[in-house]
Amino acid sequence: MKSILPIIVVFGFGFFMLVSFFIPLKGIQDTSQTFQNWYIGVMAFFIFIGIFNIIKINLEKIQRRLRDWQYSIILLICLLVMMAAGFIGGPEGGLFLYFYKNVQIPLGATMFSLLAFFVASAAFRAFRARSPEATLLLIAAVLVMIGRVPIGYWIWHGFPNLVEWIMTVPNTAAKRGILFGIDLGMISMGLRVLLGIERSYMGGGKE
Amino acid sequence: MEVLGVWIASLLTLAIYSFLYKDNPFYKVAEHIFVGISAGYWAVILWFDFAWPNLFEPLIVKGNMVYLIPIIIGLLMFAPFIPKLSWLVRIPLTFTMGISMALFITQIIQGDILPQLQATFLPLAGIHPFKVFSNLLIIAGVVFTLIYFYFSKEHKGTLGFAAKVGIWFMMVSFGASFGYTVMARISLLIGRVYFLLHNWLGII
């Protein structure tokens, strides 16, 4: 039961969704759409369990007075305030959008901009022309960086066009090759999951 | 209220940048505020944009009892908290895996493989010679990169050389992506510095 039922669920829903793609009958398409709505709704529960876990872990941290427990209080207060603002006033509510605009967006942008400093130090280590391959990486990166700032245009007017060419020709070619590899891998993995050959996502074991 | 918002955003921005010196309480406060606010934001958005219209509205407003099934499936996500019933978490996992894999397979073929393949069949005559060269390079790049990922035969001789050319293409691509990412991060940094100097301090 514990191993057969999940296999029936994965094969039943998966096979139906796969077959429905090729059968344009109204009844089948409507059922397929309903299953897709269920799927979207159930996916939301994955995030809800994540949020539930955040609350649980931080409450435990506060209860046990673990290291830096004081920050967990701040985290929980912010979480509850944001949820209260959203659920009471709605996602278009004033307070919810106020926090979104003045706290979440600036903090998100700053966090990502912080990476500029770390990327710079990573670049120092990565950009060493020790082999022909590393030299190609170095040249492409430097050209793209110079070509995307005004000083690049100032040095040579052709820089922006050269960067555009690098991005659309060699970059696209390699990305496309990699994408084909990923896609074919995904298809074979998808078929393995649907046929019950791949079960590792269930936690393994026969139980 | 607007001025207070600018002050909050500015002080939080400075608190995050204080990490560049070293890990400190200001950074930790800002970090935890970010996690709390983001989690709260996504809880609200997922409820109103996904869970409510796709599950709860049809059940509560339209009285469609069939929608009890996905809600029960979703609630089974919490089964691991009851040790005896923990195995039931496999039901929502297999449900989402089954549907997502079926959707992936069809979407990948229709939305990725076929259009990308079509875009690789490029004209090699009747256009500017440089365009011919570029198109040849794209075709060659795709083929050589794919050869690099062909592991069923040892990369020796002609195959080895083709795989090596594939690596060259990938190195150019990784370098270009790296440079592109660096510039994106720097433009974000410029945006934040501009915000501090313009919106907050009014210097520029």
Tens of pLDDT, residue by residue over B86-132, are 889 999 999 999 999 999 999 999 999 999 999 999 999 889 999 99
Q: State how far the Cα of B196 lies from the Cα of B202, in Å rounded to an integer.
A: 8
Could you tell me if residue A118 is inside a domain? no
Domain carrying residue A49: 1-89
**Mind listing the pLDDT tens digit for each residue in A56-72?**
999 999 999 999 999 99
Contact call for residues A200 and B97 (beta carbons, < 8 A): no
Could you tell me if residue A42 is inside a domain? yes
B57-79 CB burial, b ≥16 within 10 A, e <16 = ebbeeeeeeebeebbebbebbbb
Closest Cα in chain A to B9: A102
Could you tell me if residue A28 is inside a domain? yes
Interchain proximity A107–B12, CB inside 8 Å = yes
Q: State how far the Cα of A34 lies from the Cα of A186, in Å rounded to an integer.
A: 25
Could you tell me if residue A60 is inside a domain? yes
Interchain proximity B168–A107, CB inside 8 Å = no
Q: State how far the Cα of B6 lies from the Cα of B29, in Å rounded to an integer.
A: 18
Closest Cα in chain A to B55: A41
Number of domains in chain A: 1
As to burial, measured by CB atoms within 10 angstroms (0-12 exposed, 13-18 middle, 19+ buried), residue A35 is: buried
Q: What is the pLDDT of residue A93?
A: 84
| 3-state SS class at A1 | coil
In this prediction, the residues of chain A whose per-residue pLDDT falls under 50 are 205-207
Residue A31 CA neighbour count, 13 Å, CB half = 13
Q: State how far the Cα of B103 lies from the Cα of A97, in Å rounded to an integer.
A: 34
**Mind listing the pLDDT tens digit for each residue in B42-96?**
999 999 999 999 999 999 999 989 999 999 999 999 998 888 888 899 999 999 9
The DSSP 8-state label assigned to residue B108 in this structure reads I
- Is A116 in the B-facing interface, judged by CB distances under 8 Å? yes
**Mind listing the pLDDT tens digit for each residue in B153-199?**
999 999 999 999 999 999 999 999 999 988 888 898 999 999 999 99
Q: What is the pLDDT of residue A204?
A: 56
Could you tell me if residue A135 is inside a domain? no
Q: What is the pLDDT of residue A207?
A: 47
- Is A10 in the B-facing interface, judged by CB distances under 8 Å? yes
Q: State how far the Cα of A39 lies from the Cα of A21, in Å rounded to an integer.
A: 16
Q: Rounded to whole angstroms, what are the CA distances from A195 to A29, A204, B5, B196?
A: 23, 16, 54, 56
Q: State how far the Cα of B138 lies from the Cα of A165, in Å rounded to an integer.
A: 11
Contact call for residues A125 and B178 (beta carbons, < 8 A): no
Contact call for residues B181 and A122 (beta carbons, < 8 A): no
Q: What is the pLDDT of residue B2?
A: 83
In the numeric block, the tokens 């159930």 are attached to: A42
Contact call for residues B67 and B58 (beta carbons, < 8 A): yes
CA proximity to A186, closest of A202, A203, A198: A198
Instruction: Give the mean model confidence (pLDDT) for residues B137-163.
Output: 94
Could you tell me if residue A132 is inside a domain? no
